Amino acid sequence: MSDAPETPEAEASGAPDRAAERTRVILAGILAAALGALAASRGWTSTADTGHAGITATTVQSGTDLASWALPCALAGGAAFLAMLATGNRARRVLGAVAALAGLAAALGGILHLTSGAWPITLAAAALVLAAAGAWTTARAGGWPATDRYETAGDGSGDQAIAEDPVSLWNALDSGRDPSSPNITASAPQKGPRR
């Protein structure tokens, strides 16, 4: 890679790629967490015991019985990826690390019980994908475009001072604009003294 700084044009052309990468990684993390939570909640082993009267009782142990931490870890990883939808890049890096650690812990629950059937294998695989998505987020979130969902576009009036006139603030409310916006200016006609 080159150490030369990127030009604004090159940075703008890579923005859709980085946004698509962000979407794919977050979606992969959410889906992996959901699959891991499903796998952790299913029955992993079953044993049949015959009692004194000849009645057979089947006991099923789920993933939460055998690896009690796997389900909460998968859910925590999914919650971290859901939170990334509303956070900036620094918080995404921290949440990515949380998701990676949660994925590794959930994967351990599946790995310790690999001989118990398909669900522990599914948990281990999904949790490793969750951990990889979290690690990828931690490494790459700094280059992802920040969310602008909560930003409002200016009305193009420039950097004008906030109006001190209460009438203009009420007029802004009447027109559906935010009166605390720095773009609200005095809009009331100047009146002379009342007679």
Average pLDDT over residues 160-177: 70
Biggest CA–CA distance in the chain, Å, is 105
Distance of CA 45 to the CA centre of its chain: 33
Indicate the burial class of 137 (C-beta count within 10 angstroms; 0-12, 13-18, 19 or more): buried
More confident residue, 89 or 193: 89
Count of Cβ atoms closer than 10 Å to residue 168 Cβ: 17
More confident residue, 44 or 104: 104
* pLDDT 10s digits, 54-71: 788 788 888 888 889 999
154 pLDDT tier (thresholds 50, 70, 90): low
The amino acid at 140: R
CATH topology of domain 14-44+61-143: Four Helix Bundle (Hemerythrin (Met), subunit A) (1.20.120)
User: Residue 50 in 3-state DSSP?
Assistant: strand
47: Cβ contacts below 8 Å, ≥ 6 apart: 58, 59
Q: How does pLDDT run across 30-42, given as a tens digit for each residue?
A: 999 999 999 999 9
- Contact yes or no for 113/120 (Cβ under 8 A): yes
HSE at residue 7, side-chain half, CA atoms within 13 A, is: 3
| Residue range(s) of every CATH 1.20.120 domain in the chain | 14-44+61-143
Of 180, 175, 181, the C-alpha closest to 158 is 181
The three-class DSSP label of residue 108 is helix
Q: The whole model's pTM is what? A: 0.65
